[in-house]
Each structure stands twice: as structure tokens, then as C-alpha cells.
Structure 1
Amino acid sequence: MLTQLITKIFTGEAGVFFARMRTVAILYAVMGIFALGLLGFLLGALFIWLASIYGALATALGFAAACLLGLVVLYIVLMIARRPPKDRASDRLQRDIASVASVAAISNLPLLMRSVRRRRSLLLVPVAGIGIFAAVRALSAIRRR
């Protein structure tokens, strides 16, 4: 989707793209409302069915226990996700750098493979680069401690 946005900006059709995205977002919002209604009716039907089998009190206590368990799980996820913004920004930057590097490597792969076929000694360049990268990361990890 990001590549579509970039190409639309360069070709001058960004307004059409944003209008289409706004329409899609509205449709997704309506679908979400219907999905919430569906979920509500399914939970109501499940409650009625279980209440006919186990009784209303036992079913209500079971639903309460399930909701409590869901809250505990969500709280744990929230505590894991609530890291300092600096760490999250650093992680995001690392992912962006990795994606750009992988795209560049994949796009240049045919040229690199032809060069390596001609001169086998070129294989030492990436090995040395990986070694230097690992050494720099190890030193920066030691320095941070």
C-alpha cells in the first residue's frame, strides 16, 4: 500500500488515492459495527443456551470468570507493550533500516551473483562485513551496560 501511495504522489493522483482510501475506511468501520453486533448476538445466544443447561447463575458466573481472564491477559499484554517510547522508536528504526537493506540486496542480487561467479574471492567481502557488523554490535552492547 505504501508503494501505491508513493507512486500516486509522483504521478499526481494522490487525491484520488486518498478519496478511495477514505471510502475503504468508512466501509471497514461499517463492517466493524456489524461485526460487533454479530458478536453481541452470538454471546447472547451462547448465554441463553448455557443458561438452559447449567442455570442462569452458573452461566453468569462463568461469563464473569471468562471476562476476568480476558482482562488479565490484556493487562499482561499492555504491560509488555508499555515500553519506553525511545525503545519503540529504536525498534521501528531498526526494522525500517532492515527492510530498506533487504530490498536493496534483493534488487542487486543478480548483479552480485554474476560478479561472484567470475571472482570467487568476492565472497570474502560479505563475510568481512558481517564480522565487522557483529563486532560493532557487540561493542555497543557492552558499552550500553
Structure 2
Amino acid sequence: MGALVSLISALASGEAMAALHRARTAAILYGLAAIFAVCGVGFLIGAAYIWLAVRYGPMATSLGFGIGFLVVAGLILVTHKLAAGMRSKRRARRRQADMTAAGVTAALALLPALAKSKGGLGAVVAPALAVVAYAIYRENTKSRPSKPDPENLP
């Protein structure tokens, strides 16, 4: 039995090492490709600058490139802010769902112990009825719109 476990662990570690080697090789190759792509984009931007400088002059071309790069930077920042807000809301919903699931799991785990205790079923039923009553109350109450502030009226 010990030899079988040893053989399986050796096989698993060999597979893990091979996968690690493949991942490292792929990361190096993708890194090199990214470096060459950035260099290529840099040369293309330089060529576009030279072509436009001959056509429109160096000052106008510099201003155009500067404004263009600032616009691109602004778009990236705005997009990041919007995406970060959406991710934050998604994380909050997920966290709320996880907390609800944990609470329900804890309540279900305690249910048999509470049912057998001295308080018996009353210790379980009373809080459950309070939660149901509160849920019904919240569902049936209407949120009233706030009255307009007299200072803001025209």
C-alpha cells in the first residue's frame, strides 16, 4: 500500500512540475511578445508623428498628439471608475448573499438543539414570527416622498 501511495504522489508531483514549467515558459514568451508589441506601437506612433509633422508642422502635430493622449488617458480613467463602481456593488451583493446563507445555515444547525432545550419550540418560533412580522410590515409600508424644501422653490 505504501508503494502505491509513493507512486501516485511521485506521478502527481511530476505532473505539477511539468505544468509549472509550461506556465513559466508561456509567461516568458507572452512577456517577450508584449515587449516587442509595445516597441512596435512606439515606432508606429513615431512614424505617424513624423508624417503629420511634415504635413502640418511640428507644433500643431505635438499639440494634436498631446491632446489625443490626454483624451485617451481620461477615457481610461472614466472607464475604470465606472467599472470599479459596478464591481463594488457586485461584491456588496455577493457579500450580503454570503452572510444570509451563513445566517440561515447557522440557524438550521441550531434548530435541533433549540428544539430539545428547556424553552423548546417557543425559543425558535418567537424570533421566527418576529422576523416574518417585520418583513410583512416593511412590505406593506409605503415610502412617502419627502416634501419639497421651501428654500429650493422658484
TM-score by length of 2: 0.49
Higher helix share: 1
Identity %: 39
1:84-103 mapped onto 2 (5 Å cutoff): 85=88, 87-88=90-91, 90=94
Alignment of 1:64 onto 2:48: no
Out of 22, 25, 40, which is 1:23 matched to? 25
Please list the CA deviations of residues 101-133 of structure 1 after superposition, one character each: whole Å capped at 9, or x if unmatched. Answer: xxxxxxxxxxxxxxxxxxxxxxxxxxxxxxxxx
Q: Distance in 1 between matches of 2:67 and 2:89?
A: 37
Out of 36, 43, 57, which is 2:45 matched to? 43
Which residue is equivalent to 1:101?
A: none
Aligned residue type for 1:16: A
**Unpaired runs of at least 5, structure 2:** 1-10, 98-134, 140-154
The aligned length equals 86
Report deviation, 1:87.
2.5
**Unpaired runs of at least 5, structure 1:** 1-10, 94-138
Aligned residue type for 1:76: V
Rg bigger for which structure? 2
Which residue is equivalent to 1:82?
A: 84
TM-score by length of 1: 0.52
Report deviation, 1:86.
6.6
Report deviation, 1:85.
4.5
Q: Distance in 2 between matches of 1:25 and 1:42?
A: 26
Deviating beyond 4 angstroms after TM superposition, the runs of 4 or more aligned structure 1 residues are: none
Q: Distance in 2 between matches of 1:52 and 1:61?
A: 14
